[in-house]
């Protein structure tokens, strides 16, 4: 039984890694399996962040902090298939000009990018490059990894916050797993890794900013009467930005 439990935990983590990144294997799963990924999301960020940051820790482009920062963001976009950035762009397109429910969801379903989505994407990408520069300038490699952990914690939190607004689709399959135990495990893993990566002041500010972002998404979901996978992706990006701003503010 213990062996079966370990195998189940490993499978759940690999499912999480496969959906959140390109790094996980392709597994034969059922829809209900996605609910068990919520608690593993921050640790999938640990794997993603470590893989991206390790080459710079080993000396790749040493001293060339702008290039390291740019490559970090580029690798993040590629290894996550751009899904999280697509989420924040879709939300910006929908919420920018039309904050009412009917028009919001009509725009969300449109595959074309609008002005607000493009502007949001540019601001987010440039902002991440700028902030990662300051992280690499002080060679805070562990902090760079933790940013990816915090981002996935934001996704876990949004799974809980968005439950009552969940619309049919893939997003609801993740939100169904946003129970108290899963959220607690995700948060604890984020806090523990944070103690090895940044100081407590940076953690507290990052959590405060992330909470504001989740509250913003919650209120938006309330306004437009729904939340989907774009809200989860948007939560990842906004939580990453929160951590980056917190570090840049204090270092």
pLDDT, tens only, 163-177: 999 999 889 999 999
Q: How far apart are CA 162 and CA 92, in angstroms?
A: 17
Over residues 196-234, the pLDDT tens digits come to 999 999 999 999 999 999 999 999 999 999 999 999 999
DSSP SS3 for 234: helix
| Percent helix / strand / coil, the chain, rounded to 5 | 80, 0, 20
**Per DSSP, which regions of 104-213 are E strands?**
none
Asked if residues 27 and 18 have their Cβ atoms less than 8 Å apart, the reply is: yes
CA distances from 40 to 30, 45, 95, 133, 169 (A): 17, 9, 30, 28, 21
- To the nearest whole percent, how much of the chain has pLDDT over 70? 96
pTM of the model: 0.95
Taken in order 197, 202, 205, 209, the sign of the CA dihedral is negative
Over residues 49-97, the pLDDT tens digits come to 999 999 999 999 999 999 999 999 999 999 999 999 999 999 999 988 7
Q: What is the pLDDT of residue 2?
A: 60
């Amino acid at each position: 039984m213990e062996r079966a439990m370990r195998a189940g935990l490993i499978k759940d983590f690999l499912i999480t890694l496969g959906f959140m990144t390109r790094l996980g294997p392709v597994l034969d799963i059922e829809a209900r399996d996605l609910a068990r990924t919520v608690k593993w999301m921050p640790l999938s960020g640990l794997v993603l962040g470590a893989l991206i940051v390790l080459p710079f820790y080993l000396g790749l482009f040493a001293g060339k902090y702008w290039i390291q920062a740019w490559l970090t963001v580029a690798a993040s976009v590629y290894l996550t298939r751009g899904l999280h950035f697509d989420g924040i762009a879709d939300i910006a397109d929908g919420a920018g000009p039309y904050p009412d429910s009917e028009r919001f969801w009509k725009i969300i379903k449109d595959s074309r990018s609008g002005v607000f989505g493009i502007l949001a994407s540019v601001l987010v990408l440039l902002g991440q490059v700028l902030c990662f520069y300051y992280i690499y300038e002080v060679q805070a490699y562990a902090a760079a990894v933790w940013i990816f952990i915090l981002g996935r914690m934001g996704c876990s939190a949004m799974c809980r916050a968005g439950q009552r607004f969940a619309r049919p689709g893939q997003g609801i399959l993740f939100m169904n797993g946003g129970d108290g135990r899963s959220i607690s495990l995700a948060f604890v893993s984020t806090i523990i890794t944070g103690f090895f990566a940044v100081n407590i002041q940076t953690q507290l500010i990052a959590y405060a900013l992330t909470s504001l972002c989740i509250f913003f998404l919650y209120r938006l979901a309330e306004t437009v009467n729904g939340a989907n996978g774009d809200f989860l992706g948007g939560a990842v990006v906004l939580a990453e930005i929160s951590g980056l701003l917190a570090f840049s503010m204090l270092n």
